[in-house]
Amino acid sequence: MASVVRPTMLRQTCRAAASKRAFSTKLSQAFRPHTKPASALSRQAAQNVFLKDVLPGSMRVAAFHASGRQAILPAEPQVIHGNVNDAASVPTPSPSHGSYHWTFERLLSAALVPLTIAPFASGSLNPMTDAVLCGAILIHSHIGFEAMVTDYIPAKRLPKTKVVFWWGLRAATVLVGVGLYEFETNDVGLTEAIKKIWTA
């Protein structure tokens, strides 16, 4: 669709610029008489002025761009470690960070479905089931945010920022864990609170 529209838009822009010049009483800068003999530099300047008058701004600046150019963030300093012949460093394999971790994440995610439905389906509000549900939600959320920090904050480029986010995530997990414990022991508990909100 965009490829069909762009040539049409360019044609309309050129026609508008041409008709504007045709009906204008202002003498174009390119056609003003020069009293001095034309040197190579002045000819180049006259050519630039002529192109500025003849070509519309949309064709000169961004002929085939849909939006303006925007620099979001400046590029980080580019550093190459080693040379082209160096092999890529492979981390030491660890089952706790590999297959076991992946399996634990999937089992925890799958376990959240029955843990969420069970208290409401059975009709009984067991504090043990409530505590297991709170623990599963807390660990699942921690693993998810941990994956976000790993993916979006590279340790090579932003080592200090990554440490700040790691400790921030750990502090937030502990804080939420303490809050859930207080809510479970000194208040109605998570399941009962959801039930009251649902039927309010």
If you ran DSSP here, which 8-state letter would residue 44 be given? H
CA distances from 41 to 31, 37, 45, 46 (A): 17, 11, 6, 9
Strand ranges (E), the chain: none
Rounded distance, CA 112 to CA 109, Å? 5
Is position 152 annotated in a ligand binding site? yes
Burial state string for 181-190 with b = 16 or more CB within 10 A and e = fewer than 16: eeebeeeebb
Tell whether 101 is in a known binding site.
Answer: no
Are 65 and 85 within 8 A, CB to CB? Answer: no
DSSP state of 34: P
- Binding site listing for heme b: 140
- Binding site listing for a ubiquinone: 152
- Binding site listing: 140, 152
